[in-house]
Amino acid sequence: MKALFVKYKSVIKFILTFLLVYITLTVGYKFYLQFSDGSQYYPDYFTNLVAKQCEAVLTTFGYNTQVVSHPKEASMKLLVNGNYLARVIEGCNSISVIILFLSFVVAFSGKLKTTLLFIFAGSVLIYTINLFRIVFLAMGLYHYPEYQDVLHTVIFPAIIYGTVFLLWVFWVNRCSKLNQNHA
């Protein structure tokens, strides 16, 4: 049994580090959501921010866009030309995806400065791609409402998770200690 632990030490270290970081950040985020009162930024600051930024981008693209608080659930209603197209919920703000990304990068950490810069740059990229993902989803729903299911459940999740996967591959192959040990 000891030989297995020695043989797979790096795998065990990765799993434990990933889980520790992921669980810690997820619990912290859940506390944040639980204690967000929603009085100033409904339903929470990050979800509200994403909804307002989507409104601004869609308006820049020439759409008459409005974001309003949903009266019956913790979300923001996204309206284009008066049509209720989508709701922006907590799961749309990319924080959970960024936590997943960050946990993986820390578990495969490289040099401290490189790790921190990659986490920052990757998080900004994920947030930005997520924002445009919602914008293009809204545009797609406006022009092609019959494709709602495939747009929302297949294409646009593939974009955000595909981005995270590509960032992970880049990280492991270029910057992590694993790559430095095999160079």
pLDDT at 1: 73
**C-alpha triplet 36, 40, 44: angle, nearest 5°:** 35
Token readout for 150 is: 């495939």
pLDDT at 145: 93
pLDDT at 170: 94
pLDDT at 104: 96
Crossing angle (nearest 10°) for helices 156-174 and 95-107: 20
pLDDT at 50: 97
pLDDT at 31: 94
Residue ranges in the chain whose pLDDT is less than 50: 182-183
- Angstrom distance (rounded) from CA 14 to CA 120: 21
pLDDT of 92-133, one tens digit each? 999 999 999 999 999 988 899 999 999 999 999 999 999 999
pLDDT at 2: 80
Q: Does this model's pTM top 0.95?
A: no
pLDDT at 53: 98
> Which parts of the chain are beta strand (E)?
65-69, 76-80, 83-88
